Amino acid sequence: MSGNWHKVGLGGVDPHDGAAASHAWARARWIVLAGCLFAIPAFYLELLATSGTGIQAARALYVGMAVACAGAIAWTAHAARKPLRFVYRNAYDVALAGGALLSVIGGQTPWPSLEWTLRLALMGLTAVRIVVALRAYFEPNRLALLPLAGTLMLLLAGAGFYVLEPRVHSYAEGLWLAFESSATVGYGDIAPTTPASRIFAVFVVLLGYGMLSLAFAGIATYFIGKEERRLRVEMHRDIRALRAEIVSLHRDLDALRDALAPGYGNEGTTTADASTGTAPNAVGAYQRSPGA
C-alpha cells in the first residue's frame, strides 16, 4: 500500500523490504480479506441466534477470522527482512485478529451496552478493512468493475433485508429497501424496524456512499487522465518540432560557417601577397621568398 496508510496500521510491506515479503503479502492480503468476510455472518448469527448452535457457529467464524488475519501477518513477517517493522506497519490487522478472538467471549443476547459498542466497533473496523482491501479493483483502469460490484452488493443487501426485516415480505421488496438505503433516498414506504435490520442498513448506507464515491472519483480521474494524456501528446509533439528546428538551425549555422570561412582566409592571404610581392601558391613559397 502507498501513501500514509502505514500511519493507521495498514502499511503493507515496506518498499525497501525484499521481494520475498512483497510476494508473500500479495497472497496473504487476500487471506485477510477472506477472514474479514467471516465477521459479517458471525455477527448476525450471534444477533439472531435462538439456540446454542448459532452461537457456536458464530464463534467458529470469529476463530477463523482471527486465524486468517494472524496467519497472514505471521506468514509475511517470516518472509520480511524486518518482521517487527512489518507487524508494526500492519497493526490494524493485528487488532482485528485480537478483536475476533475477544468476540468468542460472550455472545449471549441481549448484549449489554458495552458489548454492543465493542461489537459494532469491530464490525466498523472490519468494513473499513474490506473496503481498503478491495480498493485496487476500483481504480480508474478498472472502472468497468464498479457496476458489477454495485450490482452484487445490491443483490446481497436485498437478501439480507429479506431475512432480517419482518416488514419485507419478498426478495423484490428487500431489493427495493436495499436500493433506498444504498442511494440514501429514504422514501419511507419500507423502513428497518428491528435492531438487526437497522445495523444492516447502516452498513448498506456506508457501502452505498463508498460505491458512489468510488464511481464518481473514478469517472473524474478517467477524464482528468484523458486530458493529461492529450496534453502529454501535444507536449511531445511540440518537443519533437522544437528539436527539428534546432537541428535545422545547427545545419544552417554549419553551412554558413563553411561558406564564410574560405572568404576570410582568402582575404588575409591576398593582403599578405600584396605587401610581400610573392605568389600565394603554397606555404613553402612564403618561406623561400626571403632567400631569393
**What does the pLDDT read at residue 51?**
75
Number of alpha carbons in the 13 Å side-chain half-sphere of residue 19: 0
Locate all alpha helices (DSSP H) within the chain, ordered by sequence: 19-48, 52-79, 83-89, 91-103, 113-134, 145-164, 171-182, 195-276, 283-288
SS3 7: helix
Q: Are 159 and 234 in contact (CB under 8 A)?
A: no
Q: Are 109 and 46 in contact (CB under 8 A)?
A: yes
pLDDT digits 0-9 by tens, 104-145: 887 667 788 888 888 889 988 998 888 788 776 665 556 667
Q: Are 47 and 109 in contact (CB under 8 A)?
A: yes
Say which range, 63-72, 95-104, 265-274, has the weakest mean pLDDT.
Answer: 265-274
Write the Ramachandran bin of 168: left for phi over 0, alpha for psi from -120 to 50, otherwise beta: beta
Per-residue CA distances from 68 to 30, 61, 134 (Å): 9, 10, 17
Joined together, the cell numbers standing for residue 279 give 605568389
pLDDT digits 0-9 by tens, 221-261: 777 877 788 888 889 888 999 999 999 999 989 888 888 87
Q: Which residue has the higher pLDDT, 210 or 179?
A: 179
Joined together, the cell numbers standing for residue 18 give 525484499
**What does the pLDDT read at residue 153?**
83
- What residue has cell string 419478498? 170
**What does the pLDDT read at residue 190?**
87
Joined together, the cell numbers standing for residue 234 give 501535444
Residue 274: pLDDT band with limits 50, 70, 90: very low
**What does the pLDDT read at residue 127?**
85
Does the structure show a pLDDT above 90 at 268? no
pLDDT digits 0-9 by tens, 182-200: 887 878 888 898 888 888 8
Q: Which residue has the higher pLDDT, 23 or 134?
A: 23
The one-letter amino acid at 118: L
pLDDT digits 0-9 by tens, 35-45: 999 998 898 88
Portion of the chain with pLDDT greater than 70, in percent: 82
pLDDT digits 0-9 by tens, 149-158: 778 888 888 9
Over its C-alpha atoms, the chain yields an Rg (Å, rounded) of 37
- Cα separation, 23 vs 40, whole angstroms: 28
